[in-house]
Amino acid sequence: MKTLILDKKTITVNNDVDLDAFNQFGKVIVYDNLTDQEEIIQASDGVSVIVVNKVMLNDVLIARLPDSVKLIAIVATGYDNVDVSAASRKGIQVANVPGYGTNAVSQLAIFLMLSCAIQFVGQIDYMRSKGWNKMAGLELTMHELSGKTLGILGFGEIGLATAKLAQAFGMTVIAYSRSLKQVEGIKQLPLLEVAKQADFISLHSVLAPATARVINKEFLQNMKPTAYLINTARGGLVDEEALAQALNTGQIAGAALDVLSNEPPEPGNPLLKTKNTILTPHIGWAPIEARQRCVDLTVQNIINFMAGNPTNLLG
């Protein structure tokens, strides 16, 4: 069997994650980051499994893949870069890795909340520009998480893990989810009611037609002027123009975003220059333990597929 890894360098840096387990399947062709459609099609000749993290596999490309390709194994939970419907029409199965990054992403969500609450970036910038001054730091208003309300949008594993961490800080947690779940101590409310009540909004939804731009002008208008938006899920959940306007006009207090609609962002992305905004380069999944777990589970998906007992199939 022949396996093609399209984008090794989006998974491991300096070989800090072990990919040797893929060798058990036979010949492995590895590219650092192969994105050109024609080159992907050529590289797929005779390949049974394509392993991909971030490379875009759209309907046109998938339709042209050789018939030898039977499985697209995504080294991630999110799968908006792979047209699953097109793969199904082509007779190709698609598998992802749910749950591998629960600890990693939830801890980043909490860190970003803390960073907003204590004005962490501002405090560091202030100290670097003006020196050590204990009283000067008081000019940047700080808050405790305890006693605040966290609104969670998307109540899967990561949303629930974030809720539990927030409760440990003494926060009240409310949630919005398309499917009702009975979780002790957490109320599920309508979308705009969550917007009205929350001091922090943390996004944990998958990106789908029903959730695209769920954070829009109407949602932002319903948020408290003292509230913060945290996004460690997908950039497409947010109307970035509307968010930039809300931040620049003080409609909300701030935002901390690990994801954007286009990555890397285009130079004209308004969030690159907005006030009271923390941006990180999609690092929620990046702790080494999470990345190794993701690779190991991807390998297990391939093993199960070959054994006729496929796991984590999409579509």
Which residues have a catalytic role annotated?
Answer: 234, 263, 282
Q: Please say whether the beta carbons of 62 and 87 come within 8 A.
A: yes
Question: Which residue in 237, 168, 244 sits closest to 201, CA to CA?
Answer: 237
Question: Which residue in 210, 204, 196 sits closest to 231, CA to CA?
Answer: 204
Contacts of 26 (CB under 8 A, 6+ apart): 1, 2, 3
Cα separations (Å) of 131 from 117, 128, 176, 228? 22, 6, 43, 28
Tell which phi-psi region holds residue 312, choosing left (phi > 0), alpha (psi between -120 and 50) or beta.
left
Give me 103's structure tokens: 């600890």
Q: Which residues pair with 143 in a beta bridge?
A: none
133: helix, strand or coil: coil
Residue 309 gets which letter from DSSP?
Answer: -
Q: Which residues pair with 174 in a beta bridge?
A: 151, 187
Our measurement of the distance from residue 289's CA atom to the centroid of its chain's CA atoms, rounded to an integer in Å, reads 16
How much is the CA Rg of the chain, to the nearest whole Å? 21
Residue 47: exposed, middle, or buried by beta-carbon count in 10 A (0-12, 13-18, 19+)? Answer: buried
158: helix, strand or coil: helix
Helix H or strand E segment including 120: helix 120-130
Give me 147's structure tokens: 């006693």
